[in-house]
Each structure stands twice: as structure tokens, then as C-alpha cells.
Amino acid sequence: MNEKEQQFNEAAVLIDKVKQEISRFIVGQEEVTEQVLWSIFAGGHVLLEGLPGLGKTMLVRTISECMDLEFSRIQFTPDLMPSDITGTMLLQPDEDGKQQFIFHEGPLFSHIVLADEINRATPKTQSSLLEAMGEKTVTVMGETKQLEQPFFVLATQNPIDMEGTYPLPEAQMDRFICKIHVSYPSKEELKQIVLRTTGKETIRIEKAASIEDVIFLQQLVKEVLVSDEMLDYAVSIIASTHPNTEESPEVVQKYVQFGSGPRGLQSLIKMAKARALFAGRYHVSAGDLKQTAYPVLRHRLLLNFEAEASGVLADSIIAEVVESAYKLGKGLSV
């Protein structure tokens, strides 16, 4: 066994350990958990959308504890200011009694930042996250500070209660590697949730991985191979989301106003690589691209008025897109 194979085997053991530890505390939501982990190991930020009380905050907190990552939670409200997130310069006396500006770090200086109900803050406050998410830095009064590594923003929003909210601008939506829908639990899962949360027994999360392990897995994801054939398929998927291209299916031409850009392609490849690593493979398959296309593209398709009036969802359009692109590249290996 060579060194690379050994690293991939170590990664498989680590990933399995992390998933088992999370499942001890979080009931169900296996798909959501996996997609969040793919995003973290792909080095991206996540937008979680679901009704209140479905365990979004608890999932993020559990993942941070499980991987020994420093966690901070920001409750977004209309009166939240950018400095409440990034930190600010304060005048304080030094040893000689002279006044000088000292930087006080905001909650962004953590490994995992939970931006709870991100769409309740004003656009000015939302935009304060853009530099942090894109460059992993924060600039206050002309001074640039480096954020903790690894650094992830996991934002949540409620899809039904839109009163008093500020929709995220397209530029910020594009910064999220994926958008994950958190579904309502089944009857059996509801029963398990009650048993675990209302009984006298308290489940403690054990550390299954370290910060160094997370960085190791992030580096290993980058080394997963993507063949020219798979890269062409990924490019075809992204190109098919644009209504003005020849290969776009009819549903795209009818309901999509704007498709995904280059960052969507980058995100698709990163997520597909992470999914391949989770499956114990050294290469990306067509199945990886098909499965990751949904969370990667659902917030990158800008639908027109006709789509909204007809109740057409982004996921149904993505299903057409991945199949259409797959047929164009006949002979692709799954």
C-alpha cells in the first residue's frame, strides 16, 4: 500500500467516525448531515433552509463539537450592525496611560459561525460577511485581520415567514457552496427526538476529529481526480442552466431568467470531489455530479415570473438539466 492509499484509508475511518458520532445525537437528517460535511471538507459555506425547530442550530453545534471546532452563533436581527459581527476598534489606555486603538474581535473569529436567520438583518449587515466568506479576512478601519483556519459560515433562513426580512442579494447567495433543504422528520424520527430530548439521560458529544484532521481532509478532497469526461459533463450541466444556449432543455428556456456562473462550476466540482471521498473513491463519477448538482445549483438559478406563478421549483429544473447534459455526453460512466 502506497502513501496515498493509506491517506485515503485514514480519511475513510475519520469520516465514518464523525458520521457515527453525529448520528448518536442528531435523529435522522442523514442527507442533510452528509451535505453539510461535504461542504465543510470542500472548504465552502452553507445556506440551510427549513422551518423553525427542525434542529438546524443543533446540527451545526454538534458538528463543531464533534470536530473540536470553535463555534459562535450570531442571531441576525434588523438592528444588528456590521461591527457586531466583525469586531471594532476601541480606545483603551496602554501601560503608560496613553489612549490607543485596540481591536476587539467579533464572533466571526471562530472556526464555525452560525448566522441564524441571516435574512432578518439589513443588506448592510449581510454584506459584512462577503469579505469574510470570500477572502477569509476582515477589514476594520483600514486594518485587515486574518480569520481562523478552517473557517465556515453556516447560515439559516426560514422559507415561510418572510415578513420583515431582507432577501439575500445574488452576489452573496453565490458565495454559499450549496443550499440545503432541511425536511420535516418522519413519525418515527419525531418519536426518537422526544425520547432523546425529554428523558433524564443526557448524550454527550465525543470528539471524533481534530482541527488538523479537518484540514487534512480538506487537502485530500483537492487530490480526488476529475477526468476530462467528468469535467465536460460538469461544464455541460452549468451551460445547460442558461436559457440562451443550444443545449439547454425546454424547461430552462421557459422558466429560467439567469443560470449559474463560473463559481457554480467550481462549487460543483468541489462538492463532487468531497462526495467521492466520502464514498471511498479516488475519482469523481457521474453519480457524484448528479447528486451534488441539486444543493449546488438550487440557489444559483434565478427563475422568472412564469415559474413562480406556475409553482415550478428549482429542483425540478435541475433534474431536467442533469439528465439533458448526461444524454449529451453519452457513454458516461456512473
Question: Which structural domain, as residue segments, surrounds residue 232?
Answer: 224-328
Model pLDDT for residues 259-297, shown as the tens digit of each residue: 898 999 999 999 999 999 988 888 999 999 999 999 999
pLDDT value for 163: 66
Question: Which regions in the chain score pLDDT beneath 70?
Answer: 1, 161-164, 199, 201, 329-334
Q: Is residue 282 part of a domain?
A: yes
Clarify whether residues 213 and 230 are in a common domain.
Answer: no
3-state secondary structure of 223: coil
Clarify whether residues 173 and 26 are in a common domain.
Answer: yes
Q: Is residue 60 part of a domain?
A: yes
Model pLDDT for residues 138-188, shown as the tens digit of each residue: 887 777 888 888 899 999 887 776 666 778 877 788 889 999 988 887 888
pLDDT value for 1: 57
Q: Is residue 334 part of a domain?
A: no
Clarify whether residues 201 and 54 are in a common domain.
Answer: yes
pLDDT value for 331: 46
Alpha-helical runs (H) found in the chain: 3-25, 30-41, 56-66, 82-86, 123-135, 170-173, 187-198, 211-222, 228-239, 250-255, 262-278, 286-297, 305-310, 314-328
3-state secondary structure of 249: coil
pLDDT value for 268: 96
Counting every residue written for the chain, the total comes to: 334
Cell of 327: 444524454
Cell of 205: 458529544
Q: Is residue 171 part of a domain?
A: yes
Clarify whether residues 96 and 141 are in a common domain.
Answer: yes
> How many angstroms separate the CA atoms of 313 and 311, rounded?
6
pLDDT value for 158: 79
Q: CATH code at 275?
A: 1.10.8.80
Cell of 282: 479516488
Cell of 67: 470536530
Label residues 59-92 b or e (16+ Cβ within 10 Å = b). bbbbbbbbbebebbbbebeeebebebbbbbeeee
Clarify whether residues 122 and 37 are in a common domain.
Answer: yes
Clarify whether residues 197 and 314 are in a common domain.
Answer: no
Please report where in the chains the cell 415559474 appears, as a residue: 307
Domain count of the fold of the chain = 2
Clarify whether residues 145 and 283 are in a common domain.
Answer: no
What radius of gyration do the chain's Cα atoms show? Answer: 21
> How many angstroms separate the CA atoms of 155 and 132, rounded?
13
3-state secondary structure of 154: strand
Clarify whether residues 200 and 277 are in a common domain.
Answer: no
> Which residues, 6+ apart, have CB-to-CB distance to 83 below 8 Å?
106, 140
> How many angstroms separate the CA atoms of 248 and 242, rounded?
6
Clarify whether residues 172 and 229 are in a common domain.
Answer: no
Clarify whether residues 30 and 159 are in a common domain.
Answer: yes
Choose one of 154, 182, 217: the last residue of a domain: 217
Please report where in the chains the cell 451534488 appears, as a residue: 292
Please report where in the chains the cell 463555534 appears, as a residue: 71
Clarify whether residues 245 and 299 are in a common domain.
Answer: yes
Clarify whether residues 209 and 272 are in a common domain.
Answer: no
Return the sign of the alpha-carbon dihedral for residues 141, 144, 148, 154: positive
